[in-house]
Amino acid sequence: MAKDPASRNLALKAWMDEHEVSAGEFAEMLNEAMYAGGRQDGDVTRRTVFRWLSGERRSPQTAQLKALETVTGKTAAELGFVPRRVLVRPIPSLQDAPVQRRTFLAAASTTTLATLAATSSTGRPTVGLPDVTRLRGQLNELWLHDDQFGGGSSLEQRAIALAERTLGLQQNGAATQRVRARLYALAAAFTSAAMFAAFDARRLTEAQHHLEKAVTLAGLSGDAQVQHQLWRYASMLAVHKGRYTDAIAAAEACAQTKVHRADPFFASMTHSRIALAASNLGDGARALRALERSAEALERAETSIPRPASVNFYTLGELHGLAGIVHYRLGIAAESESHIHRCLAELRADQHRNRSYYRAQAALAQLAQGDVDQALATAQSVVPSPTDLTPGRVSHLLATFTSALTQNAASGTAVRDWRDFVRAL
């Protein structure tokens, strides 16, 4: 006979659905928690979990209830369970016979010592999906800060500390295989955030060190999204180190990841990175073809699919900005400026770093067209006040602008005006 749907444990099902845990994985997590709590072996199976979900069993064993609360971070009642009734036996009176009293005290002491021994011998805290969720929230905060203000030493150090904390949980905690994979993915993501913060500050040696560590962690995780992210970063770093062939190879590696084939959104990022790398090699035909493919893929991408916070920056506006950079490198300055203006128009109000970065790119495109006065005005809108923190990439672009302005034979007055402006800051 089928169970009454009204008797099903919807609270437990809701938690499992939210955390994407199967019955078998949940049973494994609970057994790990019981082992960490002193039990030599767990006794939860897939069938046990199914009975809980169906409502057939509403009162798990005491050890199981404790494990349920440890793994989920919720009380038994919040999970839809009813604690078992405990039979309370009277404590022997102190007036009882001495032998009976000695027997009771000895039994109590033995139980206490056994409990302490179990705790000290296992000692490994259980790491579960609530820990993964908390760490992911901290990772999202890092990426939001980077998206708004850019990288730097403080963001880099924060990301390194979180990566080390995550690896500490990995090494010292009891967790299921699925949780361990997610911890490796988070450690890789934190390390990649440190890499990008160092890269944004033009600290390329440190960025390379973080990248190498993150690639290893991403490989251990098997997470295709993190792997795709790291190959994109590898391509970016190779460009800034003048290793353009490596940049192309890293961008092509993005296309070998599962997420590139499964999600047009990631495919779009792959093609945009190939376009940027090809433009550095002067391969205009390939660069422009890759830009077309990137735009087509982004148009096909489903916007409602949840994706990591690290890719929230990538919009049609960002693609226009990247297209502007590609056209500038190919010597098509007017088209470059057009794309960058479309990018700037679509940036969020809080994307301060990207606004400075693309304004600097616009100044370069204007100068390449001979519009010195407009280029100077645009560049002056980029330079921050002394209290602002300018990421290294923006400063590097402004140095490139100064060099290009100096080489412009018709801009002697503009060069003096620009240098006077900078000195006055």
One-letter amino acid for residue 266 of the chain: F
Closest by CA position to 214, among listed 228, 230, 200: 230
Digit-coded pLDDT (tens) for 82-138: 876 544 444 444 444 444 444 433 443 333 333 333 332 345 677 887 888 899 999
One-letter amino acid for residue 42 of the chain: G
Average pLDDT of span 289-312: 92
Angstrom distance (rounded) from CA 81 to CA 58: 5
**202 compared with 391, residue with greater pLDDT:** 202
CB 281 within 8 A of CB 235: no
Angstrom distance (rounded) from CA 65 to CA 239: 55
Average pLDDT of span 349-365: 91
Model confidence at 411, in pLDDT bands (50, 70, 90)? low
The contacts of residue 374 (CB under 8 Å, 6+ apart) are 366
Q: Which position has the token pair 């047009």? A: 264
Model confidence at 213, in pLDDT bands (50, 70, 90)? very high
DSSP 326-391: HHHHTT-HHHHHHHHHHHHHHS-TT-HHHHHHHHHHHHHHHHHTT-HHHHHHHHHTTSPPTTS---
Q: Which of these ranges, 117-131, 329-343, 352-366, has the smallest mean pLDDT?
A: 117-131
Angstrom distance (rounded) from CA 413 to CA 425: 19
Angstrom distance (rounded) from CA 275 to CA 284: 9
Angstrom distance (rounded) from CA 250 to CA 274: 9
**Which pLDDT score, from 0 to 100, does residue 6 have?**
64
Model confidence at 390, in pLDDT bands (50, 70, 90)? low
| Burial class of residue 300 in the structure, from the number of CB atoms within 10 Å of its CB (0-12 exposed, 13-18 middle, 19+ buried) | exposed
**Is the pLDDT confidence value at 58 over 90?**
no
**Which pLDDT score, from 0 to 100, does residue 385 have?**
45
Model confidence at 384, in pLDDT bands (50, 70, 90)? low
Average pLDDT of span 298-326: 92
**Is the pLDDT confidence value at 64 over 90?**
no
Q: Which of these ranges, 28-42, 211-225, 404-418, has the smallest mean pLDDT?
A: 28-42
Topology of domain 315-382+390-425, CATH: 1.25.40
**Is the pLDDT confidence value at 364 over 90?**
yes
**Which pLDDT score, from 0 to 100, does residue 158 have?**
95
CB 220 within 8 A of CB 172: no
Q: Note the pTM of the prediction, 2 decimals.
A: 0.72
**Is the pLDDT confidence value at 303 over 50?**
yes
**Which pLDDT score, from 0 to 100, does residue 289 have?**
98
CA–CA distances in Å: residue 268 to residues 10, 262, 298: 40, 12, 5
**28 compared with 93, residue with greater pLDDT:** 28
